[in-house]
Amino acid sequence: MSAHPAPVAGAGAETPQHVAIIMDGNRRWAQARGLPVALGHRAGADAARRAIEAAIRGGVSWLTLFAFSSENWSRPADEVQELTLLLRHYLRAEVNQLTKEGVRLRVIGDRTRFGEETQKAMLAAEEVTAGGQRLNLTMAISYGARAEILAAARAVAAAAQHGELDPAQLDEAAFERHLFTAGMPDPDLIIRTSGEQRISNFLLWQAAYAELIFQPVLWPDFGIEDFNAALAAYAARERRFGARTG
């Protein structure tokens, strides 16, 4: 069962409670300008800051950013190192501003693949921003939805094996408590930039009824106007949640 209030079939969409973004296009942005890929990722970090500002202005309560996928570990070692350094810098440099703006940060994904210093930076940022109530910001880092679902299935199996859970009584709500996103509402709207039209192993369970919007803009060029355009497109849709109409 979703953490959302029960949706009303046929209800028009207004402001989404939870927006998730697949931030795609950093490499192509850099390559189109003859720049090192690292500069594309740095420009992408600036776009993330604009997305946070746009979410706050737009009245969105939850924002999830797909920052680093589990598949990204297969990229060249120097690029992975740059992404890790940038992540650590972002966590440390932005934490005061996030706290000032009332943003609570959470990190989901497999943290164990990062070094101790980066893991400490993640935990510290979460602790410092824990009191934020204006926007719930989730960074999906070293994240893959299939791995998330598999880990949840293993946790459920272990609980059943130890007599802590009756498999016959397992429902969606109980299963969701084992996901990285436990306690979070499902995304109402998922945005992907760069023109690609797929969700690439992102929030597969949680995206069951999300509206999908694909924008041609490369992520480093993403601005408040792009975020607002996605909100406007969402508001114009009629969300049926699988119900029959007409």
Q: Is residue 138 helix, strand or coil?
A: strand
Catalytic residues: 24, 72
pLDDT at residue 37 tops 50: yes
Residue 31 CB coordination number (10 Å): 12
Contact 144, 73 (CB under 8 A): no
Average pLDDT over residues 158-184: 95
pLDDT value for 214: 98
pTM over 0.85: yes
CATH code: domain 15-237 is: 3.40.1180.10
Average pLDDT over residues 190-207: 97
Per-residue confidence at 240, pLDDT binned at 50, 70, 90? confident
Which residues define the annotated binding site?
24-29, 41, 69-71, 73, 75, 192, 198-200, 211
| DSSP classification of residue 111 | G
Average pLDDT over residues 203-225: 98
pLDDT at residue 13 tops 50: yes
Task: Strands of 147-192 (E only): list them.
Answer: 189-192
Percent of the chain with pLDDT over 70: 92
Which residues define the annotated binding site for Mg(2+)?
24, 211
